[in-house]
Structure 1
Amino acid sequence: MQKESFQNKKPSIKILVGYHKPAVLLKDEILTPIHLGRALATEASKDGEISKEDYEWMCENMIGDDTGDNISHLNRYFCELTGIYWAWKNYDKLGNPDYIGFMH
């Protein structure tokens, strides 16, 4: 009986969508935007500097990889792996989904 109810359960799925600058926001029950390298976002990089307005928009519309157990400050070396690391170490903040994916 228990096995049967598990088979009928709709699995919960989260797909993290990695961003490092503003772009079209993909966000719904499954698609979860994550700001990669947020710990470094206000510092100049090879791509220039992010404006205060763009940074605030990203903070308002997506989770950051700089909360909980994270390696956000290493984003310039590990790129999107900082988001994957964040998901691994902060799985509960995503609602403990049955499946998790990542797109960038």
Structure 2
Amino acid sequence: MKILLTPLLLATALPAVAQVEKIETESFAVQQAPIQQVYLLLITQSNVRGVKSSAHSTFPMPDINQCEKEGKRWKTTVIDGINGKDKSYYCVKGSK
């Protein structure tokens, strides 16, 4: 009886070996090209009681021409309490 049970006990004690296929991780990676975008950056400088500060706002623009047009409009528009020399703008090319 020992002779019959010994191979059975050995077989149950060994770990089971399974066939596992390697997963290709690169096939799951999502490749997406960046979307080009132009941003209008409006800047206001101020000097109140000797303390210099600045503020900025960023706006997405459809293209560089529209950005330049809106930036020039910002620079030339009269705003109460803001000196024209304290306003500036930049058109920045980036991506979404």
TM-score, normalised to structure 1, is 0.26
Which structure is higher in strand share?
A: 2
TM-score, normalised to structure 2, is 0.28
Q: Determine which structure has more spread, i.e. the larger CA radius of gyration.
A: 2
Which structure is higher in helix share?
A: 1
